[in-house]
Chain A
Amino acid sequence: SQQGEEDPQALSIQEGENATMNCSYKTSINNLQWYRQNSGRGLVHLILIRSNEREKHSGRLRVTLDTSKKSSSLLITASRAADTASYFCATDAKSKGSTLGRLYFGRGTQLTVWP
């Protein structure tokens, strides 16, 4: 499977702490994305990092990508209770003409931030 796999499956922290989630994948990619899903809602795109990038920031989010290890991490700094959600990584399929346009999602990390 080309799906990304997030680790850990669940993470519970206190407000103000940093949250780190990891993603591993199996095949070559053009880019990797992170999505967030609040309970009962659809997924929302957070950030995209391309295969030639190593690190990217967006507000309190920091994403790293190591293509040699086929892994990525999402760091949320100074977490808030409102960050409680499931976080998914998604990869595209490089050089897969028949599947161009689709993404491969992992199972997600459930983050709980306690006030």
Chain B
Amino acid sequence: DAGVIQSPRHEVTEMGQEVTLRCKPISGHDYLFWYRQTMMRGLELLIYFNNNVPIDDSGMPEDRFSAKMPNASFSTLKIQPSEPRDSAVYFCASSPSTGSRDTQYFGPGTRLTVL
């Protein structure tokens, strides 16, 4: 299995631009999580899905952030418009619904820099 796949790995953009981060979870996993990691705030859960349905989006910072999961193998996190304070590493993680359900498998992350 290829594990959780994220793209791009690095993104540099200018303030005000739209940014789209992509994630392909591990096949067969029913949960998908989006996290943001910064030195100041640590690892923050932004939103998570179960069977493609958003369960908890209370961590989404503001309306500039949106996330979708159109099918079981793809999710996007969009920031529009982006701001310098959005600079962080964004991780996607997935977990199965049975067996080792509680274990999350993380992707390599997308390092976002907003100038």
Known contacts A31-B102, A33-B102, A99-B56; is A88 also within 8 Å of B95 by CB? no
Q: Is the CB of B106 within 8 A of A42?
A: yes
Q: Which residues of B contact A101 (CB under 8 A)?
A: 31, 48, 50, 55, 95, 101
B23-66 interface bits toward A, Cβ cutoff 8 Å, 1 = contact, 0 = none: 00000000101000000001101001010000110000000000
- The B contact surface, by secondary structure, is strand
Interface assignment of A18: CB less than 8 Å from any CB of chain B: no
Q: Which residues of B contact A100 (CB under 8 A)?
A: 55
B50 to chain A, nearest CB (A): 6
B67 to chain A, nearest CB (A): 14
Which chain A residues in 70-115 approach chain B with CB under 8 Å? 88, 90, 92, 98-103, 105-108
Q: Is the CB of A103 within 8 A of B104?
A: yes
A60 to chain B, nearest CB (A): 20
Give which listed residue, A40, A88, A98, A102, contacts B45 with CB less than 8 A.
Answer: A102
Number of A-B contacts (CB under 8 A): 56
Query: How far does the alpha carbon of A88 sit from the alpha carbon of B104 in the complex, in Å?
Result: 13
Q: Is the CB of B106 within 8 A of A43?
A: yes
Q: Which residues of A contact B91 (CB under 8 A)?
A: 42-43
Q: Is the CB of B43 within 8 A of A45?
A: no
Q: Is the CB of A105 within 8 A of B42?
A: yes
Query: How far does the alpha carbon of A107 sit from the alpha carbon of B50 in the complex, in Å?
Result: 25
Q: A42-B91, A48-B102 known; 12 other A-B pairs, CB under 8 Å?
A: A31-B102, A41-B108, A42-B109, A43-B91, A44-B106, A45-B103, A92-B102, A98-B56, A100-B55, A102-B33, A106-B42, A108-B43
